[in-house]
Chain A
Amino acid sequence: MTQAQIDVRHLSKTYRVPERQPGLAASLRSLVRPTHTDVPAVQDISFRVEAGEIVGFIGPNGAGKTTTLKMLAGLLYPTGGEATVACCTPWERQPAYLRQISMVMGNKSQMLWDIPPLDSFRVLAEIYRLPAHEFHATLDLLVDLLDMNELLTKPVRNLSLGERMKCEMVAALLHRPAVLFLDEPTLGLDVSTQRRLRRFVREYNQQTGATIILTSHYMADVVELCPRVILIHHGSLLYDGALGGLVERLAPFKLIRLTINPENSNGAVDRALTDEIDVLEREAGRLVLRTARSATPAITARLLSTLPVLDLAVEDPPIEAVIDQIYQEGNV
């Protein structure tokens, strides 16, 4: 087997959390005899990511996504297991490794508040020891892709959240990392900025062949960018594969949206709606039906032949509903 760009084997992380009841007496007690609980954040996760892939990490809040990313970025020591990213062990934190990776955290900023982004970018060029021509070429490319030339010389404090996020992206990518960890990069951004960033991430991936792991709570990010998703829940890996496959496994049904000529069709509709069809909505000629995936073609054919159909569409259930179902039930 060839070496994958990211190879994670049985990775685990348990946090030791001090525990204390509220109140003065309890705080004195904890001073003398502190108590701890072990919180398993990541348990025995294994997966491989090939160079150039974009993988979506999904799972509810507290599932262990960020903890996993932090271990892969060398910020945390694991409690158990191994990982190899770009041929290095992340938590050994060799400078040669850190030069190959980058991490963007949607709720953290590496820009200095009081100086224009360009000054911060120049410092990064020094930290990563980029030759001047390489720095300018990459900066031009990124600034072009994000259409943010006019932001370069304004103090960061005067930028909007979306503009700041563009700067974060540039800062994270100036050294052209081979592996990029994006932890909720679209957090709090408006719809058009989100789309712009998504397009940017895709273009960057296509142009540089960077490997990208992305976490997001916006399913649109995942649907548009990630052909493959890894689903984590309660620290364990529940699913690894195509997003479509997850939906198929979880939602073994389809939705049929139907518009019919409402005149004199009530009786026919009642006859057509057999037991194998769930009616989700029904009003004046518009129906939303749910059917088993396997029975859908036959049912669709029958509806078309027996009803005065004006319009018919067969859809997968909305991805949000499927994901919500997993998050609530905790299994696939």
Chain B
Amino acid sequence: MNHRGGWALIQRTWLSWMQYRSFFFLLAFGWMIPPLIYLFVWSTAAGSQDVGGISRGEFVAYYLILILVNQLTYSQTNWTVGDEICYGRMNQMLLYPMSPLYHALASEIAGKVVYMIFVVPVTVVLALVLRPELHAGPGEVLAFIPALVLAWLLRFFWGYWLALLAFWAARSDALVAVQDALVFLLAGQIAPVALLPGALQDLAIALPFRYMVGFPVEVITGQVSGSAMITGFVIQIGWTVAAMLLYRVMWQRGLRRYTAIGG
């Protein structure tokens, strides 16, 4: 572990990225669009009466928090790691006496800061206009924090191990695209998981994708509580550990196959 080097990397990446903040603002804007669309769809549907026990204002709160959680957990490096392996750009990182994972983490953390500079003010303005209803007590807020951290870890490591398949197949990003599609469907973006039809809801609860975005939002909005919340945490921790183990195995096996292309 080389935390000192990792922290320095984060600062360097951040310095470099601040030069391009408008580009990252545009990216962040793009990622906000789908949840915004569903925010309007559901809050319109719930205009006069609740849908599945959720009122208009609660939908607004759900989706505004989902926008933030989605941004905070989105792992852009899942898209770049495959390319780095494919085109031999990992060589330099492999020469340093620290895990290349730090480079990905540096991009993630530096990126979050840059995105939040854009996303937080936009969300606040939307909240002022759309009047969300959130009844979160200290218990919900307290449970939300670990759920959010685990969601990010899970989404990051799950995408990372998929991206590491680039050691074997030249284009592993197709699998990352599949992950994004499943997150869209099953992680509470298209609709809160509680509103999904029976079989799909069971699937969403069993698979890892809900725990990458939807679960923390459900926790803070009170859509999940009591024993369902505890089960949720158990599944979330289970998938996170599984993703980290898969990352380790993929990394160790993959490195033996790495062909360090080009120069």
* Alpha-carbon distance A196/B132, docked complex (angstroms): 67
User: Which B residues lie within 8 Å of A93 (CB)?
Assistant: 94, 255
Looking at the complex, which of A121-129, A232-240, A249-257, A266-274 is the stretch in contact with chain B? A121-129
* Alpha-carbon distance A264/B183, docked complex (angstroms): 95
Query: Do A77 and B4 touch (CB < 8 A)?
Result: no
User: Which A residues lie within 8 Å of B80 (CB)?
Assistant: none
* Alpha-carbon distance A105/B92, docked complex (angstroms): 9
Query: Do A127 and B263 touch (CB < 8 A)?
Result: no
Determine whether A120 belongs to the interface, using a CB cutoff of 8 Å to chain B.
yes
Query: Do B2 and A95 touch (CB < 8 A)?
Result: yes
* Alpha-carbon distance A196/B163, docked complex (angstroms): 42
User: Which A residues lie within 8 Å of B97 (CB)?
Assistant: 95-99, 127-128
Determine whether A186 belongs to the interface, using a CB cutoff of 8 Å to chain B.
no
Residue of A nearest to B106 (CB): A123
Nearest CB of B to A42, in Å: 13
Query: Do B5 and A98 touch (CB < 8 A)?
Result: no
Determine whether B260 belongs to the interface, using a CB cutoff of 8 Å to chain A.
yes
Query: Do B2 and A123 touch (CB < 8 A)?
Result: no
User: Which A residues lie within 8 Å of B259 (CB)?
Assistant: 15, 76
Nearest CB of A to B90, in Å: 9
User: Which B residues lie within 8 Å of A101 (CB)?
Assistant: 95
* Alpha-carbon distance A126/B255, docked complex (angstroms): 25
Query: Do B95 and A127 touch (CB < 8 A)?
Result: no
Query: Do B15 and A119 touch (CB < 8 A)?
Result: yes
Determine whether A110 belongs to the interface, using a CB cutoff of 8 Å to chain B.
yes
Count CB-based A-B contacts (< 8 Å): 82
Query: Do B8 and A122 touch (CB < 8 A)?
Result: yes
Determine whether B184 belongs to the interface, using a CB cutoff of 8 Å to chain A.
no
Looking at the complex, which of A44-52, A66-74, A283-291 is the stretch in contact with chain B? A66-74
User: Which B residues lie within 8 Å of A119 (CB)?
Assistant: 12, 15
Main secondary structure of the interface of B (DSSP, over half): helix
Q: Assuming A77-B255, A102-B95, is B260 touching A120 (CB within 8 A)?
A: no
Determine whether A183 belongs to the interface, using a CB cutoff of 8 Å to chain B.
yes
Query: Do A127 and B2 touch (CB < 8 A)?
Result: yes
Write the A89-111 contact mask toward B (1 if CB under 8 angstroms, else 0). Answer: 00001011111011101111010
Residue of B nearest to A113 (CB): B16
Residue of A nearest to B96 (CB): A127
Write the B12-42 contact mask toward A (1 if CB under 8 angstroms, else 0). Answer: 1001100110000000000000000000000
Write the B231-263 contact mask toward A (1 if CB under 8 angstroms, else 0). Answer: 000000000000000000000000111111011
Query: Do A123 and B11 touch (CB < 8 A)?
Result: yes
Determine whether A159 belongs to the interface, using a CB cutoff of 8 Å to chain B.
no
* Alpha-carbon distance A74/B12, docked complex (angstroms): 25
Determine whether A295 belongs to the interface, using a CB cutoff of 8 Å to chain B.
no
Nearest CB of B to A113, in Å: 8
Residue of A nearest to B11 (CB): A123
Nearest CB of B to A207, in Å: 23
Query: Do A75 and B260 touch (CB < 8 A)?
Result: yes
Query: Do B98 and A95 touch (CB < 8 A)?
Result: yes
Nearest CB of B to A33, in Å: 15
Determine whether A332 belongs to the interface, using a CB cutoff of 8 Å to chain B.
no
Q: Assuming A75-B91, A99-B97, is B11 touching A70 (CB within 8 A)?
A: no
Within 8 A of B (CB), among A206-242: none
* Alpha-carbon distance A75/B256, docked complex (angstroms): 9
Query: Do B263 and A76 touch (CB < 8 A)?
Result: no
Query: Do A127 and B8 touch (CB < 8 A)?
Result: yes
Query: Do B9 and A127 touch (CB < 8 A)?
Result: yes
Cβ 8 A contact of B263, one of A96, A105, A129: A105
User: Which A residues lie within 8 Å of B258 (CB)?
Assistant: 75-77
Q: Assuming A76-B260, A123-B12, is B92 touching A110 (CB within 8 A)?
A: yes
Query: Do A126 and B15 touch (CB < 8 A)?
Result: no
* Alpha-carbon distance A146/B21, docked complex (angstroms): 35
Cβ 8 A contact of A115, one of B2, B4, B15: B15
Cβ 8 A contact of A112, one of B16, B20, B94, B96: B16
Determine whether A114 belongs to the interface, using a CB cutoff of 8 Å to chain B.
yes
Nearest CB of A to B80, in Å: 15
Of B11, B12, B15, B257, most buried by chain A (CB within 10 Å of CB) is B12
Query: Do A74 and B94 touch (CB < 8 A)?
Result: yes
B interface list, Cβ under 8 A from A: 2, 4-5, 7-9, 11-12, 15-16, 19-20, 91-92, 94-98, 255-260, 262-263
11 contacting pairs across A/B (C-beta < 8 A): A15-B259, A75-B94, A75-B95, A95-B97, A98-B96, A101-B95, A103-B95, A107-B262, A108-B263, A127-B96, A129-B2
Q: A126-B5, A127-B8 are in contact. List 20 more A-B contacts (CB 8 A).
A: A15-B259, A73-B95, A74-B95, A95-B2, A97-B97, A98-B96, A102-B95, A105-B91, A107-B262, A108-B263, A112-B12, A115-B12, A119-B12, A122-B8, A123-B12, A126-B8, A127-B2, A127-B97, A127-B98, A128-B97
